């Protein structure tokens, strides 16, 4: 059933399906086979009967078709040894075209119906029967295609036809000869195509046949000695089949594929065909393009697809490119004359056929998405979904909603877990840092231990690595440390942090103790010793909870004075020490409890040792892990119950002989009947006389439960140990802080002695001067842009508001200086996107900046000013590059404040800070601040240099 085409088509002639309309996609499934299948070209040989002329000339039959696949020369001239040629199919002279079609072409011919491109072409010497064969193939194919369409009512089909001939390397439209020579164009999507080639829609089979008839009639035919109606051109007829499921199915995709029916002009020898003039010219073109075809086939058959395949050497091969090693199923029917007189030509044909056999194509289903239909389909889908969303009754949309809610919850939960993990990581990092520091400091003097505290962030490396730079730098770093260590606001922040950590620790301890409490209270061990241990442990746990709650009660007021902070901190020390002590006691009690558990293997001492060995730090810090432990089969909450149940299970008198020694463990629970055990063993309640059939497992169960109990206690012990360690670290941190506070008090005292207050304006001026000197030195050491130095120097002159900016700059430079010392010239950028990531790159950038500034000297300074500067900066007269010499002298002496001031003035003039009146805001410097841990780029020093290039 042929329906109106998917594309608007004129009734008579339609252009080729526009590429823009279709989006080619690989098909999800292939009705006729796999997605993209590799397949060799199907090669058959057809031997025609001797022609009348050949018979008349008493030409001999030189070939035997020994079976359906083999052809053998008779070697009548005894020239060569006979070699059999084997092909997919060999048709002897008696075979009818119908058979040739059925067995050599049909399968390929019908591929377009399932979206796979196909090509069938006839190759052979002139008058060998190519046109004769292709006519029959075309006729049969058309018949079968229409039959298939009739038998497939669920799909709509559109058939289009176009045809061209290549005559003397000129492409001519056989359906519109008047259009003259056509151009071949290349399209990235479609490949090579013929511009303006007419494609007509076949309304039915008769219409198609008539169109085919027109094409044949239009073809160049001429008389030669060998063929009265010799085809003088290559003809390519293209049938395009579009098919899709009927509209009501909502299908938006359709198959589109073409069947190329190619009748080549025959290879010929001028001597044989007795041609001259026009025919000779035709023949030479024919032979040339056939030669290219042969070369293409030869190269492809060698399996060297990666090597150059000369498709572009002829129009024939350009057009047939997809059929030769591309996205197409291809069948070649090689025709030949059986006559001895054509022996050589026939051999050539067979040789070509043999090569063609080796060529592999990879055909795939071609689908197009009809935009209009797709749009319709999507509109329908949207309407359906909207309706579902509005529908009040439970439907798939509500199910979807609940799924979404569930997903959101999961995401939230995961985010919380992530937060928790991050917090854990931060704590761990800070602890690790502290440990490292402690280890280092232990080697130094006790005075040095208390000098340094983390500078507000726990992640920041606190220990200064040995620097390769000058001693000045070390001195400066020490100064910076000192400055940091005596900052009261820093201390307050440190104290707060410490307190927060202490509270967290207290909370965690509480939770752990809760678990411990439950675990301990769940044990019903008979011995007096164990009972006492439990009682002691319980009271200790209670005490500990009181202690940790004291830690929780600490109130952190916003505006607490440092003195208050210090005194509170000192009193907190007692709390921490108490907590430490209590944890120690708890640990001992747990050990004792473990010893009191009955043992089947070894002495109590060996058990204790095993237990200690096994006491690996358990990851209980994470709440998820904690809850996992609590809920696991070995958890304090579940396993204890199981232990009891197990005990009850085994207290039957009938079991005594089966489980020797079980009573020792299970004695206190003998009277309690058991209903059901955790392994689903059925209850024996009410069947006292019955023997347990699986009583051998009872012992195993006992052991399992006992092990579970031990495991739980061990876990708790490990956790208590860990808590203890953390408390110790906290204690250490506190000690450091206290020392810091003492140092501060000392400073305060000495300041008050000299009549200076820490916060007085006078002291700020001193601090400012000190910081500025440090900054200038660090600029110098880090080879920072002199434009940046100038800007900063001129902007920040000691106003109290500058404090923060000075701090930031100093901190950034300290970090940078440290980093540069670490990486030297070896490492690439460490400053986010900052290109100056190593000493050498910083020096290079600074050099470029100076060179650029030197270029601005003449434009920004009058000759008088310049001469004065030359004198002042001692640039010798008559020297080379005096301007650069001058700029190179700027910002070179960090110790000389006069030099710094004058350098800043000169650079400001060169850059134009003063004349533009556009003062760069101070905030810019604040924004530039980047924490070492933060990888965000800052609009920093080199950027200023870059900007400068464009001034
Ligand atoms: N299998 C066949 N059985 C009978 N006659 C055949 C057969 N094959 C070809 N012929 C006849 O041989 C003659 C030449 O055939 P055809 O024109 O098809 O050859 P061709 O290879 O197309 O030649 P050219 O390359 O010159 O066009 C025709 O008269 C045709 O009818």
What is the CB neighbour count within 10 angstroms for residue 830?
Answer: 17
Pocket flag, ligand 1, residue 220 (CB < 6 Å): no
Cα–Cα distance, 364 to 27 (Å, whole number):
8
Domain-by-domain residue ranges, the chain? Answer: 37-369, 766-822+838-928+936-948
Question: How remote is the CA of residue 132 from the centroid of ligand 1, in Å?
Answer: 5
Residue 298: partners with Cβ closer than 8 Å, 6 or more residues away: 355
Residue nearest ligand 1's atom 14 by CA: 127
Question: How remote is the CA of residue 55 from the centroid of ligand 1, in Å?
Answer: 15
Angle at alpha carbon of residue 451, lines to 447 and 454, rounded to 5°: 145
Cα–Cα distance, 510 to 866 (Å, whole number):
76
Write the DSSP assignment of 413-447 as a string of letters.
HHHHHHHHHHHHHHHHHHHHHHHHHHHHHHHS-HH
φ/ψ of 227, rounded to 5, equals -145, 120
Pocket flag, ligand 1, residue 283 (CB < 6 Å): no
pLDDT averaged per 10 residues, the chain (length 951): 34 31 34 63 96 90 93 76 88 95 95 92 91 95 95 90 89 89 86 91 93 86 68 89 73 81 77 56 71 86 74 90 90 95 89 91 79 69 73 57 70 74 73 68 44 34 37 43 50 70 70 66 56 66 50 44 61 59 67 59 47 38 34 34 37 36 35 38 38 49 61 67 69 65 62 48 76 90 90 87 83 81 52 53 88 89 88 85 91 90 91 59 48 37 44 40
Residue 264: partners with Cβ closer than 8 Å, 6 or more residues away: 121, 122, 123, 124, 130, 231, 234, 290, 293, 316
Atom of ligand 1 nearest to the CA of 132: 18
Pocket flag, ligand 1, residue 506 (CB < 6 Å): no
Whether the predicted model's global pTM rises above the 0.90 cut: no
**For residues 554-573, b (16+ Cβ closer than 10 Å) or e, as one string?**
beeeeeeebeebbebbeebe
Q: State residue 742's pLDDT score.
A: 66
Question: How remote is the CA of residue 109 from the centroid of ligand 1, in Å?
Answer: 21
Q: What DSSP state is assigned to residue 464?
A: P
Question: How remote is the CA of residue 334 from the centroid of ligand 1, in Å?
Answer: 12
User: Among all chains, which residue has been given the structure tokens 């001492």?
Assistant: 605
Question: How remote is the CA of residue 41 from the centroid of ligand 1, in Å?
Answer: 23
Long-range contacts for 307-316 (Cβ within 8 Å, ≥24 apart)?
A: 314/169, 314/288, 314/289, 315/166, 315/169, 315/171, 315/184, 315/289, 316/166, 316/234, 316/264, 316/289, 316/290, 316/292
- In this structure, the strands spanning 89-91 and 42-47 are parallel
Pocket flag, ligand 1, residue 127 (CB < 6 Å): yes
37-369 has CATH 3.40.850.10 classification: yes
Long-range contacts for 489-492 (Cβ within 8 Å, ≥24 apart)?
A: 490/453, 490/455, 490/456, 491/453, 491/562, 491/565, 491/737, 491/740, 491/741, 491/744, 492/560, 492/562, 492/565
Q: State residue 515's pLDDT score.
A: 67
What is the CB neighbour count within 10 angstroms for residue 413?
Answer: 11
> 173 by DSSP, 3-state: which?
strand
Atom of ligand 1 nearest to the CA of 265: 25
Atom of ligand 1 nearest to the CA of 224: 26
Cα–Cα distance, 886 to 881 (Å, whole number):
9
Atom of ligand 1 nearest to the CA of 93: 1
Decide: 331 and 89 in contact? Cβ < 8 Å.
Answer: no
> 909 by DSSP, 3-state: which?
helix
Question: How remote is the CA of residue 831 from the centroid of ligand 1, in Å?
Answer: 81
Q: Which DSSP helix (H) or strand (E) runs through 912?
A: none
Q: Which of 518, 428, 424 is nearest to 716 (CA)?
A: 518
CA atoms within 13 A on the CB side of 418: 6
Q: Which of 577, 575, 494, 579 is nearest to 541 (CA)?
A: 579
Decide: 358 and 129 in contact? Cβ < 8 Å.
Answer: no
Long-range contacts for 67-76 (Cβ within 8 Å, ≥24 apart)?
A: 71/45, 71/47, 71/350, 73/343, 73/347, 76/340
Annotated binding-site residue numbers for ATP:
124-131
Mutate to test the pocket of ligand 1, among 53, 92, 131, 234 (most ligand atoms within 8 A of CB): 131
Angle at alpha carbon of residue 153, lines to 152 and 156, rounded to 5°: 90
Residue 753: partners with Cβ closer than 8 Å, 6 or more residues away: none
CA–chain centroid gap for 419, Å, is 24
Q: State residue 411's pLDDT score.
A: 72
Q: Which DSSP helix (H) or strand (E) runs through 205?
A: helix 205-218
Q: Which of 444, 113, 63 is nearest to 258 (CA)?
A: 113
Cα–Cα distance, 476 to 775 (Å, whole number):
10
CA torsion through residues 689, 695, 699, 700, sign? negative
Q: Which pair of structure tokens corresponds to residue 10?
A: 């004129």
Q: Which pair of structure tokens corresponds to residue 133?
A: 């064969």
Q: Which of 293, 21, 16 is nearest to 173 (CA)?
A: 16
Pocket flag, ligand 1, residue 771 (CB < 6 Å): no
Q: State residue 762's pLDDT score.
A: 56
Pocket flag, ligand 1, residue 227 (CB < 6 Å): yes
Residue 100: partners with Cβ closer than 8 Å, 6 or more residues away: 44, 46, 91, 133, 136, 137, 333
Mutate to test the pocket of ligand 1, among 127, 135, 167, 235 (most ligand atoms within 8 A of CB): 127
User: Among all chains, which residue has been given the structure tokens 């013929």?
Assistant: 194
Pocket flag, ligand 1, residue 523 (CB < 6 Å): no
Residue nearest ligand 1's atom 31 by CA: 132
Mutate to test the pocket of ligand 1, among 63, 227, 332 (most ligand atoms within 8 A of CB): 227
Please report how the helices 396-443 and 696-753 are oriented relative to each other, as an axis angle in degrees rounded to 10: 60
User: Among all chains, which residue has been given the structure tokens 């795939």?
Assistant: 364
Task: Label each residue of 80-107 as H, E or C.
Answer: CCCCCEECCEEECCCCCHHHHHHHHCHH
Cα–Cα distance, 369 to 584 (Å, whole number):
75
Cα–Cα distance, 840 to 124 (Å, whole number):
74
Q: How far is CA 933 from CA 426, 741, 775, 779, 837, in A?
A: 12, 28, 21, 21, 15
Cα–Cα distance, 428 to 458 (Å, whole number):
10
Q: What DSSP state is assigned to residue 48?
A: P
Q: What DSSP state is assigned to residue 656?
A: T
Q: State residue 448's pLDDT score.
A: 37
Composition of the chain by helix, strand, coil, percent to 5:
55, 15, 30
Pocket flag, ligand 1, residue 129 (CB < 6 Å): yes
């Amino acid at each position: 059933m042929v329906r109106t085409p998917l594309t608007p088509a004129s009734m008579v002639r339609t252009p080729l399906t526009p590429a823009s309309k279709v989006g080619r996609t690989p098909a999800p499934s292939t009705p006729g086979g796999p997605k993209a299948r590799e397949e060799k070209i199907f090669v058959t040989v057809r031997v025609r009967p001797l022609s009348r002329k050949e018979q008349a000339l008493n030409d001999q039959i030189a070939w035997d078709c020994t079976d359906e696949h083999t052809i053998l020369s008779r070697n009548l001239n005894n020239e060569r040894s006979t070699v059999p040629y084997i092909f997919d199919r060999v048709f002897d002279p008696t075979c009818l075209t119908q058979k040739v079609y059925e067995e050599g072409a049909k399968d390929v011919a019908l591929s377009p119906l399932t979206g796979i491109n196909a090509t069938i072409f006839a190759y052979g010497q002139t008058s060998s029967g190519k046109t004769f064969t292709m006519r029959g193939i075309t006729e049969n194919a058309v018949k079968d295609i229409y039959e298939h369409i009739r038998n497939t009512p669920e799909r709509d089909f559109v058939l289009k036809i176009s045809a061209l001939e290549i005559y003397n390397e000129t492409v001519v439209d056989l359906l519109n000869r008047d259009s003259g020579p056509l151009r071949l164009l290349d399209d990235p999507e479609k490949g090579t195509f013929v511009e303006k080639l007419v494609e007509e829609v076949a309304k039915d089979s008769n219409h198609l046949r008539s169109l085919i008839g027109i094409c044949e009639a239009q073809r160049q035919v001429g008389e030669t000695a060998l063929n009265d109606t010799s085809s003088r051109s290559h003809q390519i007829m293209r049938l395009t089949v579009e098919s899709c499921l009927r509209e009501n199915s909502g299908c938006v995709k359709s198959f589109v594929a073409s069947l190329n029916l190619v009748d080549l002009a025959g290879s010929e020898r001028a001597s044989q065909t007795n041609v001259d003039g026009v025919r000779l010219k035709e023949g030479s073109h024919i032979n040339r393009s056939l030669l290219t075809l042969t070369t293409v086939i030869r190269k492809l058959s060698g399996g060297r697809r990666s090597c150059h395949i000369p498709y572009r050497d002829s129009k024939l091969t350009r057009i047939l490119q997809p059929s030769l090693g591309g996205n197409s199923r291809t069948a070649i029917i090689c025709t030949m004359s059986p006559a001895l007189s054509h022996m050589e030509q026939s051999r050539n044909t067979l040789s070509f056929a043999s090569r063609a056999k080796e060529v592999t194509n990879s055909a795939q289903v071609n689908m197009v998405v009809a935009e209009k239909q797709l749009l319709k389909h999507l509109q329908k889908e949207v309407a359906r979904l909207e309706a579902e969303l509005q529908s009040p009754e439970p439907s798939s949309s509500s199910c979807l909603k609940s799924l979404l809610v569930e997903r959101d919850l999961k995401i939230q939960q995961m985010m919380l877990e992530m937060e928790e993990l991050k917090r854990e990581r931060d704590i761990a990092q800070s602890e690790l840092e502290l440990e490292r520091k402690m280890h280092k400091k232990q080697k130094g003097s006790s005075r040095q231990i208390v000098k340094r505290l983390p500078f507000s962030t726990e992640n920041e490396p606190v220990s200064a690595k040995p620097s390769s730079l000058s001693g000045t730098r070390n001195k400066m770093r020490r100064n910076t440390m000192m400055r940091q260590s005596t900052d009261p606001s820093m201390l307050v922040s440190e104290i707060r942090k410490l307190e927060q950590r202490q509270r967290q620790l207290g909370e965690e301890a509480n939770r752990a103790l809760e678990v411990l409490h439950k675990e301990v209270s769940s044990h019903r061990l008979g011995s007096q010793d164990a009972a006492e241990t439990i009682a002691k442990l319980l009271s200790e746990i209670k005490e500990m909870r009181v202690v940790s709650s004291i830690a929780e009660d600490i109130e952190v007021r916003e505006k607490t004075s440092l003195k208050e902070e210090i005194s509170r901190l000192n009193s907190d020390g007692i709390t921490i020490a108490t907590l430490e002590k209590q944890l120690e006691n708890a640990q001992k009690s747990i050990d004792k409890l473990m010893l009191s558990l009955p043992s089947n293997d070894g002495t109590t001492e060996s058990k204790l040792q095993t237990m200690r060995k096994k006491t690996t730090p358990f990851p209980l810090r994470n709440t998820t892990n904690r809850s996992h432990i609590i809920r696991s089969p070995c958890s304090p909450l579940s396993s204890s119950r199981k232990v009891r149940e197990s005990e009850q299970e085994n207290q039957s008198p009938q079991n005594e002989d089966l489980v020797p020694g079980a009573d020792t463990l299970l004695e206190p629970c003998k009277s309690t009947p058991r209903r059901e055990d955790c392994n689903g063993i059925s209850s024996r309640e009410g069947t006292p006389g019955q023997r347990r059939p699986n009583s051998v497992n009872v012992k195993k169960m006992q052991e399992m439960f006992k092990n579970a109990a031990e495991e739980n206690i061990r876990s708790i012990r490990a956790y208590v140990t860990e808590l203890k360690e953390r408390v110790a670290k906290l204690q250490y941190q506190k000690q450091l802080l206290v020392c810091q506070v003492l140092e501060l008090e000392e400073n305060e005292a000495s300041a008050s002695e000299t009549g200076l207050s820490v916060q007085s304006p006078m002291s700020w001026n001193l601090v400012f001067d000190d910081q500025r000197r440090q900054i200038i030195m660090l600029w110098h050491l880090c080879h920072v842009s002199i434009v940046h130095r100038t800007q900063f120097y001129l902007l920040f002159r000691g106003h109290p508001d500058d404090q923060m900016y000075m701090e930031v700059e100093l901190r950034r430079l300290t970090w940078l200086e440290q980093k540069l010392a670490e990486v030297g010239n070896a490492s690439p950028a460490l400053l986010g996107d900052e290109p100056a990531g190593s000493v050498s790159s910083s020096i290079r950038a600074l050099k470029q900046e100076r060179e650029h500034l030197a270029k601005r000297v003449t434009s920004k300074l009058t000759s008088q000013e310049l001469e004065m500067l030359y004198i002042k900066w001692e640039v010798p007269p008559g020297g080379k590059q005096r301007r650069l010499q001058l700029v190179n002298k700027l910002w070179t002496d960090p110790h000389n404040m006069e030099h710094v001031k004058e350098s800043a003035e000169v650079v400001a003039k060169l850059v134009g800070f003063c004349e533009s009146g556009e003062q760069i805001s101070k905030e810019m410097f604040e924004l530039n601040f980047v924490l070492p841990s933060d990888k965000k780029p800052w609009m920093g020093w080199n950027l200023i240099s870059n900007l400068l290039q464009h001034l």
